[in-house]
Each structure stands twice: as structure tokens, then as C-alpha cells.
């Protein structure tokens, strides 16, 4: 790499020549003074053509229409979201009412179960008591004695 390409990057106002280090070289080489070569040409964009007022107004109208379309679209999306939220709120409310109804029915069935369990116990107790009473009655009553006389027989004439 030659020093002339680098020299146009290195400029000191006081005219001192800076030392340039080249990679891999132990010695410092003084840079040459300002280069007489012009810097390499860069791809510069072409300058923009100035818009006329009519073009500017047309562009602004187009931008306005696009913005209005976006606003209308966002507005519709918002209304749809509000409607979905309202539907979900009604659904949640209906589910809450149904849960309250089911809980009430469950409590009633538990109460009925307790009542029926109590009735079954009472009936079982009654059956046990009646069986005991029947057994006591059978023990107290002597069996009827039948007089049977082997000699007495009914004779047929």
C-alpha cells in the first residue's frame, strides 16, 4: 500500500509530517505531505428533484387517504373487540349464574341425602324394634296345645 493514498487522510494544520506505521514493518515511515491526488469518488445519490406544490398536495392527499383508511380499519377492529368483550362478559355472567344454580342444586341434594340417610336409619331402627317385639311376643305366647286323643276318633256311620 503506498503512502500517497493514506496521505490525504492525514493532515495536520501545523505542517508536521506524521509518522505512519505499516503493519508488519518495524520502522516508521514519514507520511508525505498533503496529497495532490483527489480523494476516491464515492457513489453519491443524485440530488432529489424538488416537488411542485401540486405534487406535494397530491402526495399529502394520498397520505391522508391512507391514514383515514388505517383509522377506519383500527376503529372497526376496536368495535369488533368491544363486541367480543361484551359477548364474553355475557357468557361469563351466564356461566356464573349457572354455577350458582348448580351449587344450589348440589346443596339441596346433599340436604336431601342427609334427610334420606336419617329416614333410612329411623326405618332400620323401627324394623329392628319391631323384630325384637315380635321375638318377645313369640317367646311370651305359649304354643297352643292341641288335645289329641288317640282313642277318640270320629266314626262314620
Alpha carbon distance, N-terminus to C-terminus of the chain: 166
Q: In the prediction, which pLDDT does 24 show?
A: 59
The helices-and-strands tally (H runs, E runs) of the chain is 2, 2
Cell numbers of 30, please? 514519514
Q: Give tens-digit pLDDT for 93-102.
A: 999 999 999 9
Closest CA to 6 of 23, 71, 143, 14: 23
Distance, CA of 32 to CA of 19 (rounded, Å)? 9
Q: Would the pTM count as exceeding 0.85?
A: no
Cell numbers of 150, please? 288317640
Q: Give tens-digit pLDDT for 110-133.
A: 888 889 888 999 999 999 999 988
Closest CA to 36 of 2, 1, 5: 5
Question: Do 31 and 17 meet the contact criterion of CB atoms below 8 Å apart?
Answer: yes
Amino acid at each position: 500500500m503506498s503512502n500517497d493514498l493514506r496521505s490525504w487522510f492525514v493532515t495536520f494544520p501545523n505542517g508536521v509530517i506524521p509518522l505512519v506505521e505499516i503493519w508488519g514493518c518495524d520502522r516508521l515511515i514519514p507520511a508525505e505531505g498533503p496529497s495532490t491526488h483527489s480523494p476516491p469518488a464515492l457513489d453519491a445519490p443524485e440530488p432529489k428533484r424538488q416537488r411542485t406544490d401540486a405534487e406535494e398536495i397530491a402526495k399529502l392527499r394520498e397520505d391522508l387517504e391512507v391514514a383515514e383508511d388505517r383509522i377506519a380499519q383500527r376503529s372497526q377492529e376496536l368495535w369488533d373487540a368491544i363486541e367480543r368483550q361484551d359477548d364474553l362478559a355475557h357468557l361469563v355472567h351466564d356461566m356464573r349464574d349457572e354455577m350458582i344454580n348448580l351449587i344450589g342444586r348440589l346443596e339441596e341434594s346433599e340436604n336431601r341425602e342427609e334427610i334420606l340417610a336419617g329416614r333410612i336409619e329411623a326405618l332400620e331402627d323401627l324394623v329392628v324394634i319391631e323384630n325384637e317385639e315380635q321375638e318377645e311376643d313369640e317367646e311370651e305366647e305359649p304354643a297352643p296345645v292341641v288335645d289329641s286323643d288317640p282313642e277318640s276318633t270320629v266314626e262314620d256311620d
